[in-house]
Amino acid sequence: MQLAPVYPVIYRLLNPLFPNCLWHGPTDEGAIALTFDDGPDPQYTPKLLAVLEQYQIQASFFWLGVCVQRNPELAKEVFLRGHWIGLHGYTHQSFPRLNTNELKNSLRITRELIADAIQIEPKKIRDVRPPNGLFTPAILRQLQEWDYRVVMWTVVPEDWLCPGISLVCQRTMAQVKGGSLIVLHDGYYGGRDVTATTANLIPQLLDKGYQFVSVNDFWQRKLTART
């Protein structure tokens, strides 16, 4: 069952309820963030990097610890190309299914694996996207207590179901607007089409006048807007 038409409704309902999460950037500007979950993957990520390099696009990647553990050199390559890095848990387990210690350890291990691979301090890796977009208010409070920043989404075209490149692009272009956080996947699910999808989407988005920024850029603008 495809839920792509429902995600915009979910976004509109949850966004005001959890304002401490990052759901979007400034809506009155033309900046958008292109994000990728579930990697890094040795089959799909290198080809995706080539497309991003071709258009000089900075993206944001939310990694699974198990994938970083298997592909540390690829993780380093992504970081060295200037992309922003966040956490997606050690494996793709929904956070509500984990107890407090399991969740804390999943994020800690993933953070340490990423930090070791890309050679930065672990505390600098703060952004977390919950697998499947699932969390509870209690989990959100825990993540904030542990000094993580929760990153959600605006546009979710369900590319992991591989419904076809044209349909994923059509869904994205129909929903995108200034400040959008677009979610695609370069892992086992969705990765098959991610390079062609991204190569198709970027020119369309550029033609519409959008500028690509990182998730961190959206955070900085959010903090500035509060002051």
Residue 19 in any domain: the answer is no
Residue 14 in any domain: the answer is no
Q: Kindly tell me if the per-residue pLDDT of 225 is higher than 90.
A: no
Q: Are 88 and 41 in contact (CB under 8 A)?
A: no
6-15: average pLDDT: 89
- Which structure tokens are listed for 197? 């999808």
**Rg value, the chain, Cα:** 16
Domains held by the chain: number: 1
Helix (H) or strand (E) run with residue 27 in it: none
Catalytic residue among 37, 38, 41, 193: 37
Residue 5 in any domain: the answer is no
Look at residue 2 in the predicted model and tell me its pLDDT: 67
Residue 219 in any domain: the answer is yes
How far, in Å, are 1, 87, 220 from residue 91 at the CA level? 23, 10, 29
Residue 16 in any domain: the answer is no
Residue 141 in any domain: the answer is yes
CA angle 7, 8, 10 (to 5 degrees): 60
Q: Kindly tell me if the per-residue pLDDT of 20 is higher than 70.
A: yes
Q: Kindly tell me if the per-residue pLDDT of 175 is higher than 80.
A: yes
pLDDT tens for 50-94 read 999 999 999 999 999 999 999 999 999 999 999 999 999 999 999
196: exposed, middle or buried (Cβ count in 10 Å: 0-12, 13-18, 19+): middle
Q: How far apart are the first and last CA of the chain?
A: 43
Catalytic annotation present for 37: yes
Q: Residue 42: which domain range?
A: 24-226
Catalytic residue among 24, 83, 88, 185: 185
Residue 58 in any domain: the answer is yes
Residue 1 in any domain: the answer is no
Q: 11-21 burial, b if ≥16 CB within 10 A, otherwise e?
A: beeeeeeeeeb
Backbone angles phi, psi at 128, to 5 degrees: -130, 130
Q: Kindly tell me if the per-residue pLDDT of 1 is higher than 60.
A: no
Catalytic annotation present for 88: no
* C-alpha torsion sign, points 31, 163, 22, 7: positive
- Which structure tokens are listed for 129? 């996207």
CATH code, domain carrying 204: 3.20.20.370
Helices 191-207 + 165-175 axis angle, to 10: 40
How far, in Å, are 13, 123, 147, 211 from residue 127 at the CA level? 22, 10, 9, 21
